[in-house]
């Protein structure tokens, strides 16, 4: 089976980290978000991937070449980000049959067996009931669970069943017909939505079944990235080697085997990637990247990139790759 994975977004809500790293390569429990999605799809029989790339595309290709060199991946660049329908249109020349489409802003617990149970459907749209429905496209279904309509970011509570960006499309020919129809018209709210192509499918006789996921974990904002990190840690993702007696641990943490931790308190919900060094610090609800140095800090609810240096910092920070933050009073730096 094939899967299309759009990866072109700039990840503006997770800056500064996405200035130097594509959003799908942000880590939870010391693994890129993209790696969880690929692992899950391969377990379901996906052996041919179509990546729609854009922002920092060489970073995606370098990661795949290093971590999954034998995986069949076709890369297609989206030069202008005009919306999800435009991204999927670029994959059409490479699609040979029924297709999964997965947007990797989120991780999910989905039952893929519904594809067999609803074999007569033209496709499957996975969804999740939410309270903040105004942020999402919401799905209206009939009594049998088939989609009637998707409304993007409604102002009225017509439905709380949010589209999560995970789809199976059996009738791919009709979907691409719908995509071309969408692209031939004026954009909707400034962009071309793939969901409008699904509406075209329904208007032309398709039956798209709506299946609810058991879990849906957002990775698109700093606070939700940290929450997803917590969930993945509590599920046992990420290693924790033996730590020195000078290090106390509270709750679930992930520490790379070559990270050096001394005279510090970790947890709950802390990930520390390869090559980082933590000394004399308290770290809670924080993701720390590779090769970073944290000394005499007290961090909470923080995102720390690769090769970052923090000294004497207290509170919440979000520091991208290669950043340095040192508290005033250290070696007179703030008075120079």
CATH of the domain at 195: 3.90.550.10
38, pLDDT greater than 50: yes
Residue 282 confidence (pLDDT): 97
On whether both 214 and 309 belong to a single domain, the answer is: no
Query: Structurally, how many domains does the chain consist of?
Result: 2
332, pLDDT greater than 50: no
Residue 79: which pLDDT band, with cuts at 50, 70 and 90?
confident
Tens digits of residue pLDDT in 117-136: 988 899 999 998 887 656 66
Please measure the distance between the N-terminal and C-terminal CA atoms of the chain and give it in whole angstroms.
62
Question: Comparing 10-19, 41-50, 197-206, 270-279, which segment has the lowest mean pLDDT?
Answer: 10-19
330, pLDDT greater than 80: no
One DSSP character per residue, 136-184 reads: SEEEEE-TTSBEEEEEES-SS-S--EEEEEEEEES-HHHHHHHHHHHHT
Residue 48 backbone phi and psi in degrees, to 5: -145, 115
Q: Provide the token pair at 117.
A: 């149970």
Q: Give CA–CA dist 228/28, Å, rounded.
A: 7
On whether both 22 and 128 belong to a single domain, the answer is: yes
Instruction: Specify whether the CB–CB gap between 293 and 309 falls below 8 A.
Output: yes
Query: Is residue 248 in a domain?
Result: yes
Tens digits of residue pLDDT in 135-183: 667 888 888 889 888 877 767 767 778 888 899 999 999 999 999 999 9
Query: Is residue 228 in a domain?
Result: no
Averaged confidence pLDDT in the chain: 89
On whether both 202 and 108 belong to a single domain, the answer is: yes
Instruction: Name the nearest CA neighbour of 139 among 161, 107, 164, 170.
Output: 161
Q: Which of the listed residues 195, 223, 251 is the one where a domain comes to its end?
A: 223
Tens digits of residue pLDDT in 232-264: 999 988 887 788 899 999 999 999 999 999 999
Tens digits of residue pLDDT in 251-303: 999 999 999 999 999 989 999 999 999 999 999 999 999 999 999 999 999 99
Coil/strand/helix, residue 79:
coil
On whether both 197 and 295 belong to a single domain, the answer is: no
Query: Is residue 233 in a domain?
Result: no
Residue 87 confidence (pLDDT): 93
CATH of the domain at 324: 2.160.10.10
Q: What is the residue range of 190's domain? A: 2-223
Instruction: Specify whether the CB–CB gap between 221 and 13 falls below 8 A.
Output: yes
Q: Which of the listed residues 171, 190, 223 is the one where a domain comes to its end?
A: 223
Q: Provide the token pair at 335.
A: 């008075």
On whether both 64 and 167 belong to a single domain, the answer is: yes
Q: Give CA–CA dist 320/262, Å, rounded.
A: 24
Q: Which of the listed residues 190, 223, 256 is the one where a domain comes to its end?
A: 223
H or E element: which one contains 225? helix 222-234
């Amino acid at each position: 089976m094939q899967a299309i994975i759009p990866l072109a977004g700039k990840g503006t809500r997770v800056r500064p980290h996405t200035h130097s790293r594509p959003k799908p390569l942000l880590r939870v429990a010391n693994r890129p978000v993209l790696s969880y999605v690929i692992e899950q799809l391969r377990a379901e029989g996906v052996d041919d991937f179509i990546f729609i790339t854009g922002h920092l595309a060489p970073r995606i290709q370098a990661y795949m070449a290093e971590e999954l060199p034998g995986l069949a991946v076709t890369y297609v660049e989206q030069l202008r980000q005009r919306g999800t329908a435009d991204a999927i249109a670029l994959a059409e020349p490479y699609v040979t049959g029924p297709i999964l489409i997965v947007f990797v802003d989120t991780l999910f617990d989905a039952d893929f067996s519904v594809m067999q149970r609803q074999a007569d459907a033209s496709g499957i749209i996975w969804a999740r009931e939410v309270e903040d429905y105004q942020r999402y496209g919401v799905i209206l279904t009939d009594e049998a669970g088939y989609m009637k309509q998707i409304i993007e970011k409604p102002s009225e509570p017509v439905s709380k069943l949010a589209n999560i960006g995970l789809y199976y499309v059996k009738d791919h020919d009709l979907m691409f017909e719908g995509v071309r129809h969408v692209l031939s018209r004026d954009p909707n709210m400034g962009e071309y939505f793939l969901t409008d192509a699904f509406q075209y499918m329904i208007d032309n006789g398709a039956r798209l079944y709506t299946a609810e996921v058991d879990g849906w974990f957002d990775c698109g904002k700093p606070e939700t990235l940290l929450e997803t990190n917590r969930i993945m840690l509590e599920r046992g993702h990420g290693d924790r080697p033996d730590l020195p007696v000078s290090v106390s641990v509270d709750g679930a943490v992930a520490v790379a085997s070559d990270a050096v931790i001394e005279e510090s308190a970790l947890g709950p919900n802390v990930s520390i990637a390869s090559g980082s060094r933590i000394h004399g610090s308290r770290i809670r609800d924080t993701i720390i990247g590779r090769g970073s140095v944290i000394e005499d800090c007290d961090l909470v609810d923080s995102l720390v990139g690769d090769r970052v240096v923090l000294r004497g910092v207290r509170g919440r920070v979000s520091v991208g790759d290669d950043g340095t933050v040192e508290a005033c009073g250290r070696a007179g730096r703030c008075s120079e």
